[in-house]
A and B are shown apart, each in its own frame.
Chain A
Amino acid sequence: MSAAIKWYWFASPQTFFPLAGTLARWSGALAALLAAAGLYVGFFVAPTDAQQGEAYRIIFIHVPAAWMSMFLYVVMAFWAAIGLAFNTRLSAMMASAIAPTGALFTFLALWTGSLWGRPTWGAYWVWDARLTSELILLFLYLGFMALQAAIDEPRRADRAGAVLAIVGVVNVPIIYYSVQWWNTLHQGASVSLTRAPSMASTMLTGMLLMALAFWAYSIATTLARVRCIIKERE
């Protein structure tokens, strides 16, 4: 019972504002610590890869960024749907606060991917299924942000963005599988993103640390941004 009360208590922007501040500070500090640890493990502890040399070390940023980019879109669509269904102001604010971070991670995944692709595949860009669908995901994020930016009235912006996010999240798996199929249809993949299954445990540790750091970073930036939105609107 008390949990239910708390739940509604923090659904109000006014009461959520101080909590978001505290959480944002703590997760920001946590993100810095985890990133420092993750980068240390990634750059100094993890061994050099036998096939890819030092270039593989970019996966400590690349893979967590790619995970977050996809996960954040689902989270964004979730909050958007809640906001649309229950008409809660804070949920819609959360959705618009997540979008820039999600777009940032998508861009980061594409950028680091191309930097990794150059020495490994010999090309900055390959029309690989995953690259292509990640690019389309970036377009979806940018479309969501552009739509919200084009609407002056916040309430309409929230609801229009919500419809778009829901349509997008239904489409993401369809896009992913169609792109994958398109790629295999045109030509056998000359390069594959799948790494050798045997991965040194230190590499895995570094990657997981970075993933946690990105989680904490996403929480911190989203909450900081949601505080700005609350201040702006309420």
Chain B
Amino acid sequence: MLDAARTIVTRDLLLALRRPSDVGTALLFFVIVASLFPLGIGAEPNLLRLVAPGVIWVAALLSSMLSLARLFAADHADGTLEQLLLGASPLGVVASAKVLAHWLVSGLPLVVIAPVIALQYDLPQSLYGTLALSLLLGTPALSLIGAIGAALTLGLRGGGVLLSLLVLPLYVPVLIMGAGSVDMVAAGLSPQGQLQLLAALLVVAAAFAPWAIAAALRISTE
């Protein structure tokens, strides 16, 4: 069972490595969106410092959502997904492995690059740790929740826009806790409560989302 998961993760990572532009695009999108905000709202440093956690989190959320459409699409197109569905390993494990690979490719880079964006927004350095930690806890939850939407909209026309309509409302708690934890540190308080809730959301999503993803995949491919 774990062998199957490991195989899928290695395979997806290898595929991503062979086509690095796919990964780069989502990351570039994150950087561009974050750079657009100062152009829109003005370069007043105090204002930027105030909105930075929210902007970075919203940009991360959008970037993670954009890459979701690719999560099952290629496997669906070339028939790999059907083989995975027919295979001996439980579909929940397969789904978790796919999501893990997706997060390693599209979520983890965001965690790494977020401090650079924070630098642009002149965020105090004391916030970097919390920002990175909140993204580290939050982005896997985003990938898990989003994968349900990706599985449901598999092969539908207008899938991308539809996916955003399905997934974005469900992202709300993660956004609130994630941006909230950084705000707490900025206000001189402990971010522990928010981070723990974020971790709780991740645990719940990790426990239940694979089932929903598996059910959705079966529905979409039958």
User: How many B residues have CB within 8 A of the partner chain?
Assistant: 29
Q: Using an 8 Å CB-CB cutoff, how does the interface string of B168-197 with A read, 1 for contact, 0 for none?
A: 111011001100100110000000000001
The yes or no answer to A12 lying at the interface (CB within 8 A) is no
In the complex, identify which listed stretch (B35-43, B96-104, B155-163) lies at the interface while the others stay far away. B155-163
B184 contacts across to A, CB distance below 8 A: 185
Smallest CB-CB separation from B183: which chain A residue? A185
Q: Which of A143, A156, A170, A186 contacts B220 (CB 8 A)?
A: A156
Cβ-defined contact, B170 with A150, below 8 A: no
**Shortest beta-carbon distance from A179 to chain B in Å:** 7
The yes or no answer to B215 lying at the interface (CB within 8 A) is yes
A-B contact count (CB 8 A): 73
A164 contacts across to B, CB distance below 8 A: 148, 152, 166
In the complex, identify which listed stretch (A20-28, A97-105, A108-116, A134-142) lies at the interface while the others stay far away. A134-142
Smallest CB-CB separation from B218: which chain A residue? A159
Cβ-defined contact, B180 with A175, below 8 A: no
Cβ-defined contact, A160 with B220, below 8 A: yes
Distance of A174 Cα from B158 Cα, bound (Å) = 29
20 further A-B contacts with Cβ under 8 Å, apart from A146-B165, A174-B201, are: A136-B172, A147-B153, A147-B162, A147-B166, A150-B153, A150-B159, A156-B220, A160-B152, A163-B212, A164-B148, A167-B170, A167-B212, A168-B169, A170-B208, A171-B169, A171-B170, A178-B177, A181-B176, A181-B180, A182-B180
Chain A residues proximal to chain B, CB less than 8 Å: 84, 136, 139-140, 142-143, 146-147, 150-151, 156, 159-160, 163-164, 166-168, 170-171, 174-175, 178-179, 181-182, 185-186
Chain B residues proximal to chain A, CB less than 8 Å: 148, 152-153, 156-159, 162, 165-166, 168-170, 172-173, 176-177, 180, 183-184, 197, 201, 208, 212, 215-216, 219-220, 222
